[in-house]
Amino acid sequence: MKPVTIKRLPEIIANKIAAGEVVERPVSVVKELLENAIDANSTRIRIDIEKGGTQLIRLSDNGIGMYRESAILALERHATSKIANDADLFAIKTLGFRGEALPSIAAISKMVMVTRPYESDIGTEIQVEGGRVLEVNDAGAPSGTYITVKDLFYNTPARKKYLKSIRTEIAHIIDYLSNVAVGFPSIHFKLFHNARSIKNWSQTNEIADRIADVMGDDLYKKLYPITFKNEFVSIDGYVASPETSRKSSSHVIFVNGRVVTDRFIHHAILEGYRGHLMKGQFPVVVLFMTVPFEDVDVNVHPAKQTVRFVNQGSIYQAIVISIQKGLAQTRRSSWKPIPEKNPQPIDNDHSNETNDPKQSIYDIPLHPTEVKPHMLKETISPIPYTHQQSLISDTSEKSAQHSDLHLNYRNLKIVGQFQKTYIICETDQALVLIDQHAAHERIVYERLNNALLSQKLPMQRLLLPETIELNYKQSLVFAEIIPELKKIGFEIEPFGQNTFIVQSIPDILTGKNIKPLIHEMAESLPDIKNTAPAQKAIDECLILTACHSAIRSGQTLSSKEIHELLNALEDCDHPSQCPHGRPTCIQWDCTLIEKKFKRIV
Ligand SMILES: Nc1ncnc2c1ncn2[C@@H]1O[C@H](COP(=O)(O)OP(=O)(O)OP(=O)(O)O)[C@@H](O)[C@H]1O
Ligand SMILES: [Mg+2]
């Protein structure tokens, strides 16, 4: 084959190719126009969408606008007012910086741009089709910029084919706009779809108000501020108490003012919430991270939504710690019940195992060990529970929300026990139910954890060592974890092939049937080893130990025992959830009860 001739592509074709990267679907257009409007210091932004954005996207802003020459230039590739030199690229302070968005959008749509700077008497209207400027005219217009994008992908049929339903496309737009709106409360956002108002978020000075406006009314008064700063990052934002969790991922992350969707940050947030949510529940978190410009690369992907940090590990830790700090403020929130439509089985927490009715709560040491609970220590929290449970509050009844009342478990007035499973208590304002197993599980778990940290976990040597048979796969992993298990009080020796002998156990388990516990540990270990470091494996073993040693449901408790339990719960760092993330406590406030009885309407 002979050498071929290389030709420079005409700008219009080059723009069309670039558009393929910048504009994937209607939401990409919304994103780019929105970023431009924010960069232009707008305080009011209105977005009109027709047919999910496939037919029309119009964004109107009251920002600085453009003079005619700039407006024409803005449609050319790599024309930007936002960076001027190499150094700027490494200190990007605006949302846009490439000078690619407008020419890309214009290349694959029919675009009309009307713009007028405040100081100018007359505005400019530019009509573009498939990247070709058709007309430039004077236009009478309010100050700001109005960009209408019609017939997106009309000249790129392959891309058009990949568009999903109108509902999906508008859902993407709403999601994106919601995320951005959270970070810019001083901007009034309006969204219309097919001429119907979909969103309208007025200006506010309170970021928490905007978060609740956008992410759900149930968040009012349930958001706790977080703030953290070290040499690598400063983090501000809000965490919501675990009871306001969602069924799908629900956090908004800003890095240097830019919304990002980053798996690494997502992971750090979940790590911060570990032990507070059950599996399948997601926290509500808003993070504003500020990282020195030279330590973060936002130019990783054409969509500018992924970031790369120089100090990745330190930033991960910072997120985890700030979330944990934030959650420490929510520790007294109890759960508010909702009428469940389809009650689901909640727990496989052994609480229904047959119990020895004579066994007393005193069989399990409730008195604190000499170790003091540490607030905000980096405890290895548990892995959330596998069952989904819908205890999220009925958000419509704001007046009845007492779940943000911070309970003092020690001061609860005990009424009695219900079904030998729940402790009934009251406060001046509420009826409170405590799940005795979940509560005790939390107590034991924190005790074990504290004892582990102080390396003072009391052990009990078994008079008759217990022999355990595991399967081949389990025994491989189990053998590895034996030295770690010793730290939490299990002295176990391999006894050839798949057999192990348990010589000692944590004394908290004295009198308990040890075999099922070890089997459960062994069963859960392979999963853990595949996904997590040894620390997590140990944590899971601690949770299982707590679960097996905690008092069961079906066990009658004397009032002295209940007092003891409540006192110990009060001393916990995180009393409102069991180590699996299940609530230990739910409450009905008086107003809610009076409403149910129609005493008040
Ligand atoms: N709504 C607007 N108000 C005022 N100026 C605007 C507006 N939209 C675009 N501009 C101007 O047009 C220029 C080009 O916009 P474009 O979005 O193509 O590139 P950019 O924002 O600089 O970078 P990026 O491609 O990363 O978005 C901007 O730099 C800005 O000066
Ligand atoms: Mg831009």
pLDDT in tens, 207-224: 999 999 998 888 877 889
More confident residue, 301 or 531: 301
More confident residue, 250 or 169: 169
List the one residue out of 531, 444, 529 whose CA is nearest residue 489: 444
Tell me, in angstroms, the distance from the centre of ligand 1 to residue 96's CA: 7
Tell whether ligand 1 has an atom less than 6 A from the beta carbon of residue 75: no
Question: In degrees rounded to 5, what are phi and psi of residue 509?
Answer: -100, 5
Q: Supply the residue whose CA is at minimum distance from atom 21 of ligand 1.
A: 96
Question: What is the maximal distance between C-alpha atoms in the chain?
Answer: 96
pLDDT in tens, 546-556: 888 888 888 89
8 A C-beta contact, residue 100 and residue 18:
yes
Q: Rounded to whole angstroms, how far apart are CA atoms 525 and 36?
A: 50
Give the pLDDT score at 443: 92
Q: How confident is the model at residue 528 (pLDDT cuts 50, 70, 90)?
A: low
Tell whether ligand 1 has an atom less than 6 A from the beta carbon of residue 117: no
Q: Rounded to whole angstroms, how far apart are CA atoms 258 and 287?
A: 11
For residue 265, what are its two tokens?
């940050």
pLDDT > 70: percent of the chain:
85
Q: Supply the residue whose CA is at minimum distance from atom 7 of ligand 1.
A: 36
Tell whether ligand 1 has an atom less than 6 A from the beta carbon of residue 146: no
The reply to whether CATH 3.30.230.10 applies to domain 207-328 is yes
Q: Where in the chain is the domain with CATH 3.30.230.10?
A: 207-328
Whether residue 302 has pLDDT greater than 70: no
pLDDT in tens, 535-587: 777 788 888 888 888 888 888 999 899 999 999 999 998 888 888 888 898 88
Q: Where in the chain is the domain with CATH 3.30.565.10?
A: 11-201
For residue 220, what are its two tokens?
């009012």
More confident residue, 157 or 526: 157
Please name the residue ranges forming H helices in 372-464.
Answer: 436-453
Tell me, in angstroms, the distance from the centre of ligand 2 to residue 270's CA: 32
Q: Rounded to whole angstroms, how far apart are CA atoms 312 and 566?
A: 41
Q: Which CATH number fits domain 361-590: 1.10.150.120, 3.40.50.880, 3.30.1540.20, 3.40.50.300?
A: 3.30.1540.20
Ligand 1 atom closest to Cα of 102? Answer: 18
Q: Where in the chain is the domain with CATH 3.30.1540.20?
A: 361-590
Ligand 1 pocket mutation, candidates 21, 38, 39, criterion most atoms within 8 A of CB = 39
Whether residue 353 has pLDDT greater than 60: no
pLDDT in tens, 446-487: 988 888 888 777 888 998 899 998 888 888 888 888 888 888
Ligand 1 pocket mutation, candidates 23, 42, 80, 98, criterion most atoms within 8 A of CB = 80
Q: Rounded to whole angstroms, how far apart are CA atoms 500 and 520?
A: 14
Q: How many CB atoms lie within 10 A of CB 311?
A: 17
Q: How confident is the model at residue 276 (pLDDT cuts 50, 70, 90)?
A: confident
The CATH number assigned to the domain with range 11-201 reads 3.30.565.10
Q: How many CB atoms lie within 10 A of CB 102?
A: 26
Tell me, in angstroms, the distance from the centre of ligand 1 to residue 147's CA: 12
Tell me, in angstroms, the distance from the centre of ligand 1 to residue 290's CA: 23
Q: How confident is the model at residue 331 (pLDDT cuts 50, 70, 90)?
A: low
Give the pLDDT score at 29: 96
First to last CA, the chain: 86
Q: How confident is the model at residue 120 (pLDDT cuts 50, 70, 90)?
A: very high
**Mean pLDDT score of the chain:** 81
Tell me, in angstroms, the distance from the centre of ligand 1 to residue 66's CA: 10
- The mean pLDDT value for 308-316 works out to 89
Ligand 1 atom closest to Cα of 64? Answer: 4
